[in-house]
Homo-oligomer: A and B are copies of this chain.
Amino acid sequence: MPTLRVEMFAGRTVEQKRALARELTDATVRALGVPASAVEVMFFDIERSDWAVAGKLFSDPSAAPPVQT
């Protein structure tokens, strides 16, 4: 605690997750003044066919935001 749960599109490598875990932990330490050992991070890979915005799956061609996430 604090515990961070990160939901993102599947496909990130372990290297990216390793970097993200470190960056998020450092960010939390800076903003809250807690020790790094108190910060927990969990990653959840979500398939594009399991995530929708505006009623459209991200796996479908016309899915709205072209934003890469």
Contact = CB atoms under 8 A, between A and B. Distances in A.
Interface SS majority for chain A:
mixed
B20 A8 contact: no
B51 A42 contact: yes
Contact of A60 (B1, B18, B23): B18
Interface in A23-69: 23-28, 30-46, 49-57, 59-60, 64-65, 67-69
A24 B23 CA distance: 8
B18 A7 contact: no
A8 B14 contact: no
Given A5-B5, A55-B25, A16 B37 contact: no
Given A5-B7, A35-B68, A39-B54, 17 more contacts: A1-B9, A4-B4, A14-B49, A17-B50, A17-B57, A18-B60, A19-B31, A21-B52, A23-B31, A34-B69, A36-B54, A38-B69, A39-B55, A41-B52, A41-B55, A42-B51, A45-B50
